[in-house]
Amino acid sequence: MRKFLLKYGWLLAMMLVAMGLSAGFVSQLWVPVPVGMIAAGVLTFSLWLIFQEAVGGGFGGERLTEASTNIVISAVSFLVILGLTNFIALRYVVRLDLTENDRFTLAPETEQLMQSLNQPVKLWIFDDRPPIPADLELLNNYRRLSPDNFNFEYANPYEQDSLALKFQVKDTGEAYLTSNDASHSSFVQSIKNRPLSESRLTNAIAEFLADRTFQVSFLTGHGERPLQPGRGAISRAISTLEEKNFTTAPLTLMAASGADVPPTANPQAGDPVTEPSPTPEAPPTANPQVGDPVTEPSPTPEAPPTANPQAGDPVTEPSPTPTLAIAEDTAVVAIIGPRRPLSETTISALKSYLDRGGSLFVALDYGMETGLDSLLAEWGITLDKRLAIDESGTGSFLGLGPATPVITKYGDHPIVRDFTESFSFYRFSRPVIIEEKTGITATPLLITNEPSWGESEPQTQNLKFDEGKDLPGPLTLGVALVRTGETGRGGDGERVQRTPSPPVTPSPSPPVSPSPSSSPARIVVIGNSDFMSDGRFELQLNGDVFLNSIAWLSKQNEDILSIRPKETTNRRIEMSPIQSRLVKLTALAVFPLLGLLLSAIFWVQKRSS
């Protein structure tokens, strides 16, 4: 050992010094580890020289002097080359990503956004755990592209409670984006159960810098989920939307049939009833059109498209039948869990809104008649009346029963493209059946595991799949649809007119239909609304399904939203509970018994020979 140290002690010293210099240049933190390693290397080299002098009879000996001089020159040359290499590497950074699917390389959309970032923003991450290395790598990549305008900082919400109170932090792991002067902030995502997402962060930066806000109107008057805190409410979803540069408001559409809510003079959400209607609610004509006056029939509709009152317009005179209209600046109309059917006039207003290129988010619960069947049928969508059952056993690890499908498979769509590390769940869901329609593109979003099916008799105690009665899986619980043009097309290619109802006098075009828009209409349909209620919205990916759906429907930052996640190929084996038990039995019983049996056979043969 002594001879080894005397011979190679100088090499150990150089290694310590090299490691200290490398650690300091890379981390930019020289205290305490890098400086300690350099000091240890210098001390080791000094001790080696002293030992060399003691053993060799003096440092100035003949052969020892020559060897020592060569070693010193080699060491100094090594340190100089190492320093120059690190200097050049830091001055001219070249990154080479050899990982599968370029996991550590930012998407071109992110690079373009960060290089054009013209105002400082800062990301605050409130967590009491050490930073995740993958998150640090991602954030450093962002800062490398825009070092002057992007920065990030971790904060412990328990130690910096005043800062957490300023951002209204509700749980550990929440990340917020803020301006340089902290005058404006927005929620990005929670990293409590999954790593930081590039698409979410990039999308949050784009939304943060955007000047335009998007209006999301929530339909009311049919027993929809409450918008304010309460039982079954979606107040958490509302507040999160408002944190992400959206404005929200209730939408009350008045119905001539009285199926919705009593009509008012101005069909806006929250307006008081100014005076009662002088005529009965029932229309006197056989086929009333949206906007037609009810006091006297007319062979042709009298109200042009611009006659529909918009939000803020003064009411010049009372109207017996309110005109149905959805404001032009409404980016998305959301229908969340209605418990009563929508009227014909409300459906007509929604169709007219879609004909203008609007977007609709529909979340309907099991066992509810909503009156939306005709509208969804034009898009090739049918909400099955059976209950979705998931017998894959995935939910059993979470304490969930078979009537709560746990979704781990997602379609190839910008809404769910980033959902690879976690799951979402939907209690008491109904399957969504997709029929191909010309002119309409339908993409499944939420796909159940195997085995799963649509149960026609969920009240039975022992649930099992019945051929011919139940709907075989895997099931689709959510779908995203896009339609271009003013009309859809049926399965046979025949044009489907988007008229509210048959006109009194035949006309080649809908009489009270807004002018068609070149913007494609969009719909997201999910056979469940419980997933976004308070208490479940925050769990796993439930909230992200809703937020990403609204972002996609509002048609903002579509290129950024469609950033694909950097993921490795999924090589996991998915097994049913029966298959899992069989594998366990084979490993613990079959193979050991087989080994013992073969050993016994060989022993008997050897003994007999």
Indicate the residue type of 260.
D
**What pLDDT was estimated at residue 381?**
95
Q: What are phi and psi of 125, to 5 degrees?
A: -120, 115
Which residue from 125, 205, 106 is spatially nearest to 167, judged by alpha carbons? 125
Q: What are phi and psi of 219, to 5 degrees?
A: -65, 135
Token duo for residue 62: 């003949």
**What pLDDT was estimated at residue 152?**
94
CA distance 515 to 459: 48
Per-residue pLDDT of 482-513, as tens digits, reads 997 544 433 333 333 333 333 333 334 343 33
Instruction: Spell out the residues 6+ positions from residue 67 whose beta carbon is closer than 8 angstroms to its own.
Output: none
Query: What is the secondary structure of 9-66 as a DSSP string?
Result: HHHHHHHHHHHHHHHHHHHS--TTHHHHHHHHHHHHHHHHHHHHHHHHT-TT-HHHHH
Instruction: Spell out the residues 6+ positions from residue 218 whose beta carbon is closer than 8 angstroms to its own.
Output: 224, 227, 238, 248, 249, 250, 251, 333, 334, 335, 336
**What pLDDT was estimated at residue 59?**
47
Token duo for residue 377: 């049928």
Cα-Cα-Cα-Cα dihedral sign, residues 132, 134, 140, 146:
negative
Token duo for residue 4: 């080894």
Which mean pLDDT values do the consecutive 10-residue runs of the chain (609 residues) have?
66 81 74 81 79 59 62 75 77 71 77 86 92 90 90 92 88 88 80 83 81 86 93 92 86 60 40 40 40 40 41 41 72 95 92 92 94 94 94 80 91 84 88 93 93 89 86 93 60 36 38 51 96 90 91 75 56 78 90 91 86
**What pLDDT was estimated at residue 477?**
96
User: Which H/E stretch holds residue 443?
Assistant: strand 440-447
Indicate the residue type of 226.
P
CA distance 89 to 85: 6
Q: Exposure of 52 by Cβ count < 10 A (0-12 exposed, 13-18 middle, 19+ buried)? A: buried
